[in-house]
Structures are given as C-alpha cells and as structure tokens.
C-alpha cells in the first residue's frame, strides 16, 4: 500500500527517524534493513517462511520516489496492508538523519530469539554450523553471516560477547544473510562446546597454532567451525576441547581478517564434504 508522505515530521514515518543512532533491536525485536538486494532477499524469505509464522515480519517501508517506481513489481507482491511510505529524497534523508543513497529502508520485526539446541536438532545428519565467539565488530559479524549463507551453513551460533547480527550495519554487510540464516545465542564457549558435543558436531577451532593444516582436514558429517577475535583468538579452554586447525601464512605477516578466515574455512569444509 503506497502512502505518499511530504514532510519529515509526519508521525507515520517516526519509526524511521535517526536510524543511524538507534539500535532498534534493543527496542523489542525491531530491525532496519537497507537497499534493494536485502529487501528482495527478505521478501522472498518472508514469502517462504511467513505462512508458518516462523520468520521475520515486515512492518513498513520508506522509499524515495524513484525507488518506489523502480520497485513496482516488488511492492505489488507485498501484503496489501503493509505501508510503503514514499517520500522525496530530501524528506527521506531528513528523517533518517543521513543521506540514504539507496533510497530504500525497511522496518521489520525479528523472529523471537531462537534456542541453540533446537536449531541444531533441526539440522540433518550432514550439516555445517558456524560459531562466533567474542566478535564485537558489526562488519565481521555481517561478513561471517554472508559466508555462512554462501556456503550453505544451517545455523550460526554466537556468544553473548558477539554483537547483534540484526543491527543495521551487520544486516547491510551480510547482504541480508543475517536475516535468513537462523542464529541463536549461547551463554559462553563452554556451553557451546557442550551443545555441539551432545549433538554429534565436530568442533573445528581456528588458531595460528592449530595442530592440522586446514587443507588436510576431512571433516565429520556434522561439523561446526569456531572463530574468535582477531587479536587474542579463541581461548585456550576452547582449543583444548576442539580439533585445532591452522591456515598456513607468510612468516612475517601472520594476519587474516576473521570474516576472510571464515570464508576460507567454510569453502574448504563445503568442498571437503562437510555439509549436506
């Protein structure tokens, strides 16, 4: 339902105000998605999962006038009661608090927090899971989800020290993957390892001091790849309880970005047959 708005102080678009400053997730499960690629992915995801009430919900769109015209096909396929507010670019920028070059904002409500054990139970006998411990950077969390989606991971598990995958920037960097790959929080590394062991998942822990070379790893059918912060890495108690794996690097520059590391590992595990 197209709803033209002409003024930045129109109360109907108040939910889009100052999106950069607000972490909507902290306000009861709301999230903000940006751009055409993410919106189309989210729409397909909702169409697939919505009937069962299992997925996220869209609550409102805010579009610039040219984008509303370009996305006519998408808008026609959305529920008729979903408001798509259409505003001049200047009004949109004034509401959001910065220049929304893409001209597309989507306000949504997230699926309630999932249970990690239930997520693992729902996966098949061959499955790939990603676990992030202490990843406090939105770019890295977003990048990890993007890799998880690209290599068909069935779930992402994150500890409480990692940042919210549904924060606006994490959604954007993930190209929407944090909205589509199911994830759950675990209390800490110890709870994660207990959970994986109980469900028959082999835990693979990346570390420069890993005992095996990644390229040599033939993973178990159910496998979880664990990633820690770039500096300190995974804690010693995690390495002691996992299969430790290293990526060989140049002697004088032993440093990879954690999202890149994740991509390298998932590519290998997917090729080596660790997923269904």
Binding site for its own copies (CB under 8 A): 41, 44, 139, 143, 146-147, 149-152, 175, 177, 180, 213-215, 247-250, 252-257, 259-264, 267-268, 270-271
2-32 residues labelled b (16+ CB within 10 A) or e (exposed): eeebeebeeeebebbeebeebbbbeeebbbb
Residue 209, helix vs strand vs coil = coil
Based on CB atoms, which residue is closest to its own copies, 38 or 78?
38
Based on CB atoms, which residue is closest to its own copies, 218 or 253?
253
CA angle 72, 77, 82 (to 5 degrees): 90
Smallest distance, its own copies to C-beta of residue 152, A:
4
Based on CB atoms, which residue is closest to its own copies, 52 or 251?
251
212-228 residues labelled b (16+ CB within 10 A) or e (exposed): eebeebebebbbbbbbb
Sorted by sequence, the CB contacts under 8 Å of residue 116 that are 6+ apart come out as: 157, 184, 185, 186, 192, 195
Sorted by sequence, the CB contacts under 8 Å of residue 38 that are 6+ apart come out as: 106, 171, 172, 175, 176, 179
Smallest distance, its own copies to C-beta of residue 249, A:
4
Smallest distance, its own copies to C-beta of residue 113, A:
23
CA angle 217, 220, 223 (to 5 degrees): 95
Based on CB atoms, which residue is closest to its own copies, 82 or 256?
256
- Cα–chain center distance at 123: 18
Based on CB atoms, which residue is closest to its own copies, 71 or 128?
128
Smallest distance, its own copies to C-beta of residue 215, A:
4
Based on CB atoms, which residue is closest to its own copies, 69 or 257?
257
CA distance linking residue 214 with residue 204, whole number of Å? 10
Smallest distance, its own copies to C-beta of residue 63, A:
21
Smallest distance, its own copies to C-beta of residue 260, A:
4
Smallest distance, its own copies to C-beta of residue 181, A:
9
CA distance linking residue 16 with residue 63, whole number of Å? 11
Based on CB atoms, which residue is closest to its own copies, 187 or 255?
255
């Amino acid at each position: 339902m197209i709803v033209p708005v002409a003024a930045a102080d129109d109360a109907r678009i108040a939910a889009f105000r100052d999106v950069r400053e607000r972490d909507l997730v902290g306000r009861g499960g709301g999230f903000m998605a940006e751009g055409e690629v993410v919106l189309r992915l989210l729409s397909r995801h909702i169409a697939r999962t919505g009937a069962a009430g299992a997925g996220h919900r869209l609550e409102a769109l805010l579009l610039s006038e040219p984008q509303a015209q370009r996305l006519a096909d998408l808008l026609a396929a959305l529920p008729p009661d979903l408001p798509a507010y259409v505003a001049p670019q200047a009004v949109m920028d004034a509401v959001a608090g910065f220049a929304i070059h893409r001209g597309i904002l989507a306000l949504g409500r997230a699926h309630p927090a999932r249970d990690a054990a239930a997520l693992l139970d729902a996966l098949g006998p061959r499955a790939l899971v990603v676990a992030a411990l202490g990843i406090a950077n939105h770019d890295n969390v977003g990048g990890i989800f993007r890799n998880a989606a690209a290599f068909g991971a069935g779930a992402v598990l994150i500890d409480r020290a990692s940042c919210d995958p549904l924060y606006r920037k994490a959604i954007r960097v993930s190209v929407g993957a944090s909205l589509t790959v199911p994830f759950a929080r675990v209390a800490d590394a110890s709870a994660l390892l207990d959970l994986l062991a109980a469900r028959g998942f082999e835990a693979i822990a990346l570390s420069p001091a890993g005992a095996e070379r990644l390229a040599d790893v033939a993973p178990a059918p159910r496998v979880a790849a664990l990633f820690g912060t770039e500096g300190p890495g995974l804690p010693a108690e995690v390495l002691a309880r996992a299969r430790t794996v290293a990526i060989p690097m140049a002697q004088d520059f032993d440093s990879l970005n954690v999202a890149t590391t994740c991509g390298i590992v998932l590519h290998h595990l997917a090729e080596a047959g660790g997923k269904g």
